[in-house]
């Protein structure tokens, strides 16, 4: 599945889970309504995490394209915190 499709799917799941949360909150408090609320909240958190991951991946892909267009050095795959230990290029490059 293409990345934009993953983002759309995660956004749809987020909206569906939010609707289920609201439905469960509107019901009188019972074990069943709390169970439904917790299940919906779990699905919401999972969809939000997926949406965050796919959005970051999309930004990362776009940065690689921009770096290529600018003939810049390839972007590192490791986290940014590891960049501090890398030798810095000379000024003016």
* pLDDT (tens digit per residue) in 13-47: 999 999 999 999 999 999 999 999 999 999 999 99
| pLDDT top residue among 8 and 61 | 8
What is the domain count for the chain? 1
Residue 31 in domain: yes
Residue 52 in domain: yes
> Which domain does 34 fall in, by range?
3-70
Residue 22 in domain: yes
Is this model's pTM higher than 0.85 or not?
Answer: no
Residue 24 in domain: yes
3-state secondary structure of 90: coil
Residue 85 in domain: no
Residue 36 in domain: yes
- What DSSP string describes 30-84? -HHHHHHHHHHHHHHHHHHHHHHHHHHHHHHHHHHHHHHHTTPPPPPSS-GGGGG
């Amino acid at each position: 599945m293409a990345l934009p499709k993953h983002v759309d799917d995660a956004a749809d799941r987020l909206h569906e889970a939010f609707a289920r949360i609201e439905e469960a909150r509107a019901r009188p408090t019972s074990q069943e309504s709390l169970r439904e609320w917790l299940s919906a909240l779990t699905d919401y958190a999972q969809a939000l995490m997926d949406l965050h991951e796919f959005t970051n991946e999309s930004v990362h892909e776009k940065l690689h394209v921009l770096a290529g267009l600018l003939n810049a050095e390839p972007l590192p795959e490791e986290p940014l915190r590891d960049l501090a230990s890398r030798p810095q290029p000379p000024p003016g490059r």
